[in-house]
Structure 1
Amino acid sequence: MTPPVLYWISGSPPSWRVMLALTLKGIPFTSKRLDHGAGENKQPAYLALNPKGQVPTLVDGDVVIRESLAVLAWLDRAYLHRPIWGADAGQAAQIWQDVMLMEGDLRPAVTVTAQSLLRGMPLPDAERDALLVGVDALSKTLETQHFLGGGTPMANDIWLYPALHWIARGVVKSGAAPLPIARLTEDRPALAAWMARIAALPGVAETYPPHWR
């Protein structure tokens, strides 16, 4: 069978989510990295696949999926081995609840924090506080289990891992981040251990954004 094709941009957390899902599920795929600076995601050929010019886009045969969470859900139905949305209905509900809370409550804070750091702009107190509250709650969960999904990484882990790395990239680029943000993992041993466990999984290192290395 022809492997699925992933269109992505280096440093895009949604792209990284899908790459992690493919890697953790052991699905071979063809990588199509787009050059954002050169506007490759706005060229007619790509816009025919994704009219918004966004990433990621996954193409598997006649199937084209454009939103990262939709891709993760589809992968779990199309490739049944190594589930990432739970082994049963109860676990699936819990993981979906976690992910939707992250999308609604944590994503705005993550986005503003990362972009503020990368652009050298002041970080609004509201977003900083929302981020710290959210991360504290997740770290507390990780004090009693290896992954947010339980014994193995699931979609909630896949959502969070690129998000925290995006902030870490902003810290590096800013050179002078506010201490509570700069020490997100250092001050939370359970979160730091979780990051290390995911980083050590087979194939995960190869998903790290190339231009961040």
Structure 2
Amino acid sequence: MTNLTPNAGPHDAAFDAPHVCAGCDNAEAAAHAAGAGSGPGKPTVNRWEPTSHHSSRNGQDIDHIVVHYTTSRNIEGTISHFKHGSPQTSAHYLIGRDGALVQMVGDGERAWHAGNALMNARSIGIEHVAAVGDRIAEQQARTSAALIGWLMREYEIPKSQVIPHICVPRNTDCCGDLFAGFGGGVKAGAEAQRKALHAWMSSMGL
């Protein structure tokens, strides 16, 4: 779940590690221009729903992926909130239960999803449409794995830097029960949620 204080929160030393990828002001354009990565291309974006809820990365490299869930199965409500809601929040990508991929913020811009300004600047935020208690759906999982795999290749992001929102850290149990079948869940702590996400990634060939 995207935190409702998008750029609030103290500077956290856990995210001061050296950058993994060499970037520029527009990391997305730079990666495409350089022909970064190998393997399957970017999954098809089924809908582009641009929001004004974003800002500049100020030259920060993209070196993390943050995984969220929406707490609601209403994809249209989430899209509307990311466009018009208050306080202003957003994510780069939104994945429906049916596997539909919606993009709302370009990779080269900072989406307001992590509740931490530094992490917002250096990460891609992916929301999964799911109610409280829902596990990741089969078609949703396929799209998510394809997107995460492409982002990892495109921006040279190691698996260790693909994290659930709870690891930012914030006062959140996100990404909920998406990966409860792999040892995660709302009652699990940050490390258990991280291990569950990575176990799911392994099961998807990532």
Larger radius of gyration between Structure 1 and Structure 2? 1
TM-score by length of 1: 0.33
Q: Which structure carries more strand by proportion? A: 2
| Higher relative contact order (CA closer than 8 Å, sequence separation 6+) | 2
